[in-house]
Every structure is written in C-alpha cells, then in structure tokens.
Structure 1
C-alpha cells in the first residue's frame, strides 16, 4: 500500500465519485476502477460498493479503514512540514468545516489573514450544518471545525460568545417592552432555527419550567426572517447571525443577557498539524474576546 493509493481512497470519499476523484488526481475513470480493485484485492476486503439510490458508499470496514488512511496522510503531512521548516519554508494544509453563519461572518476573514501571513499554507473549506461538522470531525474528514457546544467528543477551544436576541414583527406587542425574558415568550409561536439553537433554547425554557411553542423549524435565518415579516411568529437567534433585517422586522435583546458559545474543535489537540495550529491561533487572535 503506497501513498498514492491511500490518497485515491480518501479522495473518492471526499468527492463521492470515481470520475471526480480521478479528475482531481489526473487519472482516468477506468484507471481509478482498476486501482480500487487492486487495493481491495490486496486488503482482501471490499471497501466501496455501488448503491443505485445513494451512489458510491463505503462498507463498514471501509469507513473504519478511511479513518486510518486519513491519519496516515495527516502524519505524512507533518513529515513534509518538518522537512520544509528545516529548509526555512512553510507549507501545509488545513481542512476547515463550518456551519453557514460561521462561513458567512468570520471564516473569510480568518482565511484572508492566513493567506496574507502564511502564503505557503493551503486552506480547504467545507460548509455544512453543525451536526455535519461534528460528524466530519468524528470521521476525521476535516482537520478542524467551528461548532456550537456542547460536545464532549472533541478537544475544544472557546472562540467567541454571541448574544441572543428576540426577532419579531414591528407590530408585535412585545416590541413595546423594554426588556423581554423567557416567561414573556411562553404563549408565542416560535420559529426555531436549526444549527445549534435547538438545545439551548429548549434548555432556557426548561429553566422556567416552560416549553417553547414551536410553530416551524427552519434551516436558514433568511427563512425565519421572512416568516417573521409575515407575522407568522418570532424567532430567537444571535446578533452575529444577522447582517440586515427586512422591513418591519425588529429585535430586542433577551434579558438577562444570554449568549451562545462558539468554539473551535479538533479530534485531538495533541495531534494537530502546524497548519491547523495556525488556523486556531489566527481565529483566536481575530475573534476571541471580541464577541457580542
């Protein structure tokens, strides 16, 4: 088993396609198929199977071997980084996973700063839900992720706090109140956003022995804002989750001041590459203690 074969299997898992993996590695589709067959023959087990509904999927043993292959490539990357450092050069790769708000609000600034200060480092970004980012970390598909706690599966570094707000139509009676607490929301139709809000909001209501009256659950803040604009309910989000508000949509801070934690997570802090360390340091320099 050589590095090229390991790279091929990992690339197939990333692209979900023999053809796309071949294109990125400058191989024809037949050559990829032959290489995979040779690897499976050498290992004596099936790694990948075709599924009419889901396309290419990895077998159970294939998924476990994938994690090992990713670890191998990570260790080889560290060797390259050490050799480059010995020669006075800086190289490396970091694969970041982040949920949409993070990708919109602060990941671009982190990447731009890294490219300016560390031009030899290669950055890759995957965007997904908070749950997807956590799953990518578990499978080691990414090196580092931006997540919303809690999660005890990873080593976590606090990044920032983001203040919770209540977003409503300007005609809503709650807007006339100077302060809004959770008890004020007990009879309100809640538009609940996915992406790390669910657990915290249910916990906030539970503290008052209440249960949120959830009317709709949405994936994107723009959907929630449009519904608020139409008077379909209120939503609880954070200040950094909103770039601008539609007409007739306003907000009040939740009192007492309540925050959502945003963290950087890695599978094992003792085992990160130099490039991952640069990402973490850059992110913390730019954003830690600069929350809402």
Structure 2
C-alpha cells in the first residue's frame, strides 16, 4: 500500500470530493481518481460509493479510514524523528491559525522564521479558532496559533503568547457613544454584532451577561473581526474588538464600569504528536 494512495484516500474521505482532494494535495482530479482506483484494486474492494455527484464511504472505506490516518501519522512521525536526529530544521511545518492572528499577530514571526530557515516548507491554513482547535486535536496540524479555549482539552498542550484585552465599541454617531459611564444593563437593549455564538469570544461575552441575568441581543454575526469592525463603524450595532483593532479612531470604546474582558491567544499542539525541530523552533520564535 503506497502512502500516496492513502493520502488521496484520506483527502477524498475528509473533503467528500475528488476535486477538493486534488486541491488539497495539489494534484489534478484524474490523478486523485487514479490513486483511488489503484488502492481499490490492491484491496479488491470499493472504498467509495458514487451516486451521481455524491461520494460516501463504503463499509470497507469506513474501516480503512482510521487505519490510514494512523499509518500516515506514523510515517510522518518517523520522518520527523530521523530529521530531528540529524539536528536539521527543515521539512514541512503545518500551522492552523485564525484570520485575526494570522493578519495582525503572526506576520513578524513568520517573516523572521522563513528568513532564518528557508528550507522549511510552511503549510499555513486560515480557520476559525474553534475549527483549528478541532483539527489539531485530530492530529492534522503540527501547531495551532489561535484564541485559546476557555476549557482546555487534556490532549492539547498550550502556551499563552498574547493576552488580548477586548473593548466594547460603537460608531461615533451611535446613541450609546453619548454616555460618559455605562454598565452592561445599558448595552442589553441594543443590538450587538458579534462572532458566532459558538466562538470562544462570544462565549466570554455571553458569560458576562448571564452573570447579571441580562439578555444579549445578537442581531448580526461576523466571524472575521475586521468585518465586524466595519459593521460597527457604520452604526449597525455595538461590538467587541481587541484593543489592537479598536484604537485607530474608526470606532469608539465604551466606558463600561467594572467590566474587564480578556482572551488568551497562543499556540497549541497535540500532546501525543511529536513536534519536529521546525515546530519547536517556531514556538521559540513565538515566545521570544
């Protein structure tokens, strides 16, 4: 069984599409189809049911998937271990990060790292922090650079890199902007613009309102903070933004009394997935 065939199989199984699998592996759709056909011939059984444009795993495919993932992980671990013995910082480093961190926090570290270690192939993916956390938990990335979960999973190791203080903000012409002092009760009747309710940031805001038995009216959702900032700046509602985004004058921070909202941003990796030299050095750069 060739690992290239297993990579194609896992990619199709996870994306549900031959073309999407090809995009993930930087291959053409016919090349993916050929690898799947070869694997099915070797195993003498179909791995996918193809009904119209819909693709689903057969019973044999369902049985193979966890074993294929394990085999590929063990091969990758072996390759990393051999390179690490040689003390080299090279190979592939896969990172999942949020759009906000990737745009506003990571660029200096990425620039310095790639200048110092040009032989490392960076595989950078932009995902919501919650999705990135899940992908790292499944062992699909070496590192996640994300908003850290309020309740950490025992399988995940994490390092706090930044402490992100959040401001409650509105547009300068919003009625709330006229207040000199405010409480959460003053915000409650007004429409909020926040990330999805399942995100770590909105869960922190919801906890503040729940603690005071106040309703939180989320009228609009924007998971990208730059989009949220634009929507707030034109007066569509109040929102919550990191001080790094709220301090340029486009939106106005609200003078909330006795409300401190902080989230932790940092690096995560799976405790059972050995970090290669590239990942360890990248972590040092982040902490540096």
TM-score where L is the length of structure 1: 0.78
Q: Distance in 1 between matches of 2:162 and 2:93?
A: 21
RMSD: 3.4
**CA distance, structure 2, for counterparts of residue 282 and residue 66 of structure 1:** 35
CA contact (8 A) 2:89 2:278 kept: no
Return 26-35 or 276-285, whichever deviates more. 26-35
Residue number in structure 1 paired with 2:287: 284
**Cα–Cα, structure 1 residues 238 and 136, in superposed 2: closer, same or farther, change >3 Å?**
same
- The aligned counterpart of 1:257 is 260
Partner Cα separation in structure 2 for residue 26 and residue 189 of structure 1: 44
Match of 1:275 in 2: 278
Query: Unaligned 5+ residue runs, structure 1?
Result: 286-292
Cα deviation code 1:116-161 (max 9, x no counterpart): 2323322111112223213322332222212331243322222221
Tell me which of 179, 186, 189 is aligned to 1:187: 189
Residue 230 (structure 1) aligned to one of 231, 234, 254: 234
- 1:96 maps onto 2:98 in alignment: no
SS of 2:231's equivalent in the other structure is helix
Which aligned pairs between 1:153-164 and structure 2 lie closer than 5 A?
153=153, 154-164=156-166
1:197–1:237 contact (8 Å) kept in structure 2: no
Is the counterpart of residue 204 in structure 1 residue 203 in structure 2? no
Correspondences of 1:169-184 after superposition (within 5 Å)? 169-184=171-186
SS in 2 for 1:231: coil
Describe the SS at the equivalent of 2:140. Answer: coil
Deviations 1:180-234 (A, max 9, x none): 4423312222112234322111001112121212222223334433333332211
SS in 1 for 2:214: coil
Q: Is the 8 A contact 2:188 2:216 kept in 1?
A: yes
Shift of 1:39: 1.9
Stretch deviating more after TM superposition (174-183 or 185-194): 174-183
Contact 2:84 2:277 in 1 (8 A): no
TM-score normalised over the length of structure 2:
0.79
| Cα 1:274/1:15, change in 2 over 3 Å | farther
Aligned to 1:289: none
**What residue ranges of structure 2 are gaps of 5+ in the alignment?**
none
Aligned residues: 282
